[in-house]
Amino acid sequence: MTNIVEIAGLEKRYDERTYALRGIDLRIAEGEWLTILGPSGSGKSTLLNMLGCLDRPTAGSLQVCGVETSGMKQRELAVFRRENVGLVFQQQHVIPYLTALENVMLAQYYHSVADKDAASAALQHVGLGHRLHHVPGKLSGGEQQRVCIARALINQPKLLLADEPTGNLDRANACNVYDMLSKLHQEAGQTIVLVTHDESAAEYGDRTIRIEDGRVVESPHRACSVAS
């Protein structure tokens, strides 16, 4: 099995004193669902930013899909991100004046060309086939988050990154979103990295790591262990 992510000695510090990450070594296999747990301020989002090419590390190496991204320029990162990474955020980040369908098509537009059929199929896949033309204001939080998932997956990214995707949702909606992700993971073998506070969410994944103060402290389930 190939590794889609290989991280060695990854550091991120914002200034002299504030270290967000203090040397992370991590491998993520293709098709794996990795859950990252940790207290607030431990550096989970920072790590995910690195994986998603939204930010650059100050030291260490970072390979995503076999490409070293730590030295890339902003512009190259944007292109790489567009091609390889899908992002789902804690807030349901959707453009409020565009319909569900248009929000998904926006990602297609910036990637290549907008394809209405593909976009509506993606929404159908997340169970929103009947709400294509609703604006986000008329959708529930869980539904909005599913629009975000459909948008994140529309360009077939190799890596799906989710930062507390259920942080804003109630139990039922959260379960709904996790079920959705499980389905994608099992049916399509989607690689998922999930950051969460929610211990119970770890059950959906193959493997869980904990981060504290910018370091990986333990990796309890080594079930789906890494081979290089």
Partner 1 sequence: MLSLSVGVRANLSTEIRRFGANIVLYPQADDGLLDDSVGPRVEKGALGSRIYASAPFLHQPAVVSGKPFDLVGTDFADALKVSPYWRVTGSAPTKGQVAVGADVAAALKLEPGSSIDVRIAKPTSSGKGSGACRSCHGSLGAEHDRRTSGRLAQVGSNCLSCHQAHPIATSTGYVATVSAIVSTGGDEDGWVIAPLTDVQSLSKSGNRISYLRVSALTDSEPAEKTAARLSGLIDGVRPEVVGSVASAEDNLLGKVQLLLALLTACVAGMSALGLFSMLGASVLERTGEIGLVKAIGASNGSVSRQIVAEAAVLAVAGAALGLLAGAGIVRLIGNSVFGASMSLTIGAVPVAVASCLLLAISASLAAARRAARIDPAICLRGE
Q: How far apart are CA 214 and CA 107, in angstroms?
A: 32
Among 7, 107, 153, 201, binds partner 1 (CB under 8 A): 107
- Does 42 sit near ligand ATP (CB under 6 A)? yes
One character per residue 2-41, x = contact with ligand ATP (rule: CB under 6 A): ------------x---x-x-----------------x-xx
Q: Which two tokens stand for residue 82?
A: 């567009």
List of E strands, the chain:
3-13, 19-29, 33-37, 59-64, 67-68, 85-88, 159-163, 191-196, 207-212, 215-218
Question: Using CB under 8 A, which residues numbered 52 to 81 contact partner 1?
Answer: 52, 54-55, 74-75, 78-79, 81
Stretch that binds partner 1, among 16-24, 51-59, 132-140, 196-204 (CB under 8 A): 51-59
Nearer to ligand ATP, 41 or 189 (CB): 41
CB distance 145 to 169 below 8 Å: yes
Residue type, 184: L
Among 67, 95, 172, 217, binds partner 1 (CB under 8 A): 95
Strand order in the sheet with 215-218: 85-88, 159-163, 191-196, 33-37, 207-212, 215-218
- Does 57 sit near ligand ATP (CB under 6 A)? no
3-state secondary structure of 32: coil
Select from partner 1, ligand ATP, Mg ion, none the partner in contact with residue 20, using the beta carbon and a kind-dependent cut-off of 5 to 8 Å. Answer: ligand ATP
Among 70, 91, 140, 219, binds partner 1 (CB under 8 A): 91
- Does 1 sit near partner 1 (CB under 8 A)? no
- Does 111 sit near partner 1 (CB under 8 A)? yes
Task: Report how far apart, in Å, the C-alpha atoms of 121 and of each of 107, 115, 131, 150, 205 are.
Answer: 14, 10, 12, 9, 26
Contacts of 160 (CB under 8 A, 6+ apart): 85, 86, 88, 152, 153, 181, 184, 190, 191, 192, 193
Among 7, 37, 43, 177, binds ligand ATP (CB under 6 A): 43
Among 35, 45, 120, 208, binds ligand ATP (CB under 6 A): 45
CB distance 91 to 48 below 8 Å: no
Q: How far apart are CA 227 and CA 29, in angstroms?
A: 8
Residues that bind Mg ion (CB under 5 A): 45
Residues that bind partner 1 (CB under 8 A): 45, 48-49, 52, 54-55, 74-75, 78-79, 81-82, 87, 89-91, 93, 95, 106-107, 110-111, 151-152, 155, 163
Residues that bind ligand ATP (CB under 6 A): 14, 18, 20, 38, 40-46
